[in-house]
Amino acid sequence: TPPCASASANTPPADQYEHFGSQRGRVPNQANTVYTNFNVYKGSAAMSVKVVKPVFRKNEQSKLILHKAGFIGLEFAESLGPRQYNWNDKVNFALSMTEIGEILELGHALEEVKFLHDANLNTPRQGEVLKQFQMTRGTRGDGSWLIKLVVNDRNAPRLEILMPLTVGEFSVFKNLLQFTLPHLMGLGITFHPKFAMEEASILSDDGYQSAASREPWEFPGPAQTFY
């Protein structure tokens, strides 16, 4: 992270994201909660990559069942000036399992990915706000990649954010996706059940979910639910 001219503007807020240590029926305290993310800062914008864990529920036999898969949450903030970014008006974009899989194939089977999200899909407001995420190779031929995020909102001006990634940044990004993919599907807890209560976000009888699960992320379609 580069030196901050304004820490509040340059650092994305972390208190919304609960990654580990949730307990059934109550919000975890600060002592057993860990926040982590990967940030990329450029002259025109910044990007923060956050891992939002899956949500589980208990069945009648008190067995943990996957309720909602996790996802990779991307936050984009436009630049306000040197080393300052407008995180208060950030743009969110959630990557699903298959979208992560396509990004992992960039440079191999794929040379470009493009995803279109509609937060109001199958509602009367469908098409009101559309977000398009695109990744292509950089134009310099140096192994870099370019993320382009376009937001078309009927009630606001069109927004376009460009986020170039160097070879190193792209490698870190892909390795993060590769490492977290099975955990987003709940497989980490499947093979390590003794840590389930420490690492799982569990849906309690009163409807409690982790704070991250309540963030207004856009999914490519209805959230897939397993019972």
The predicted pLDDT at position 227 comes to 17
Backbone angles phi, psi at 31, to 5 degrees: -70, -30
- pLDDT one-digit tens code per residue, 92-104: 999 999 999 999 9
Query: What tens digit of pLDDT does each residue of 8-48 get?
Result: 457 676 544 333 333 333 334 444 456 678 999 999 999 99
CA–CA gap between residue 192 and residue 157 (Å, rounded): 48
pTM metric for this prediction: 0.75
Instruction: Please name which of 39, 13, 72 lies closest in space to residue 220, comparing C-alpha atoms.
Output: 72
Contact criterion met (CB below 8 Å) for 21 and 198: yes
**Orientation angle between helical segments 167-184 and 97-104, nearest 10 degrees:** 140
- Rounded to whole angstroms, the Cα distance separating 80 from 11 reads 13
